[in-house]
Structure 1
């Protein structure tokens, strides 16, 4: 599995680990899990940890924006932590600028800063 979602029971933090090449099916599973939590009344703050990120699997339908348009405004904040990639590519993939959710990119060295930013306010 290229994507794994865990929750910190003490905070509203959802931690999404993405390793290697992200597969569309794995991302769809994550989207479904977050959607269920939002439908239950949560407003998650998502910490995305990109580990040895190899990009998005080719040949997959990455043009499906149903989740973003249905739930994107119900995610409180999103912090993306990674190395070796362009911030603009990662932010474009998350829909930063197309949704009201604040999205910030952090380096691996700034992981704790990203976590603190998510928990502010």
Structure 2
């Protein structure tokens, strides 16, 4: 599994590329970085790029759920970019667990996702 971070637009936009299968240890890397940016900038806008993403191990799914609860109001916009139908469904399922405005974009529309994130 791989997580790669890119900070954009004055660090208010965080691009997270995930691939393979997320495991609990991935959240140990991910969580402190996101929490640092929240402390530094307030609400964030996230682009969650799921290209070649296969899902979570059960312990990682629990960490993901806890992250959503802990940061319910810290994410302003969430653009989920994927290539599979289940990823689009995941974007719909996550909406009740965040105050963020959530939109799904097909991988071919990743540039549009970035544009949406930086709009006022």
TM-score normalised to structure 2 length? 0.83
2:6–2:15 CA contact under 8 A, matched in 1: yes
| 2:108 corresponds to 1:106 | no
TM-score normalised to structure 1 length? 0.82
Aligned to 2:96: 97
* Larger helix percent: 2
Partner deviation per Cα, 1:20-50 (whole Å, 9 max, x = no partner): 1112221332122111211224321101111
Q: Identify unmatched segments of 5+ residues in structure 1.
A: none
Mapped to 2, the partners of 1:82 and 1:61 lie a distance apart of 19
What's the secondary structure of 1:40's corresponding residue? Answer: helix
Shift >4 Å, 4+ stretches: none
Mapped to 1, the partners of 2:117 and 2:66 lie a distance apart of 24
* Larger strand percent: 2
Cα RMSD (Å) of the superposition? Answer: 2.0
1:19–1:51 CA contact under 8 A, matched in 2: yes
* Equivalent pairs, count: 118
1:20–1:51 CA contact under 8 A, matched in 2: no
The 5 Å alignment of 1:72-87 reads 72-86=72-86, 87=88
